[in-house]
A = this chain, B = another copy of it.
Amino acid sequence: MYLDIFKIGGNVIDDPATLESFLDTFCQCPERKILVHGGGVMATDLARRLAIPVRMHEGRRITDQETLRIAVMVYAGWINKTLVAALTARNCRALGLTGADGKCIISRKRDPRPVDYGLAGDLMPGSINALFIDSLLNEQIIPVFSPVTCSSEGQLLNTNADTIASAVALSLSVKYKVRLRYVFDREGIICPGSEKPLALLSRLQYLELRKKGIIYGGMIPKVENALEALESGIEEVYVGKTSVQL
Contacts and interface: CB of A to CB of B under 8 A. Distances in A.
B89 A94 contact: no
The winner among A69, A81, A96, A139 for most chain B CB atoms within 10 A is A81
B85 A154 contact: yes
B82 A73 contact: no
A50 B47 CA distance: 11
The winner among A84, A85, A94 for most chain B CB atoms within 10 A is A85
Contacts of A86: 154
A73 B42 CA distance: 12
Contact of A93 (B88, B102, B139): B102
Given A78-B77, A95-B101, A102-B93, A150 B88 contact: yes
B78 A73 contact: yes
Q: Is the interface of A mostly helix, strand, loop or mixed?
A: helix
A11 interface: no
Number of copies: 2
B139 A89 contact: no
Contact of A77 (B76, B88, B139, B154): B76
A150 B78 contact: no
Interface of A: 49-50, 69, 72-78, 80-82, 84-90, 93-96, 98, 100-103, 132, 135, 139, 141, 148, 150, 152-156
Given A76-B76, A88-B100, 6 more contacts: A73-B73, A81-B100, A82-B156, A84-B101, A85-B156, A96-B100
Contacts of A49: 49-50
A96 B101 contact: yes
A77 B72 contact: yes
A88 B50 contact: no
B102 A81 contact: no
12 contacts: A49-B49, A50-B50, A77-B78, A82-B156, A84-B98, A84-B100, A88-B100, A88-B152, A88-B154, A89-B154, A93-B103, A96-B100
A139 B94 CA distance: 18
Contacts of A88: 100, 103, 150, 152, 154
A155 B85 contact: yes
Given A78-B69, A135-B139, A94 B85 contact: no
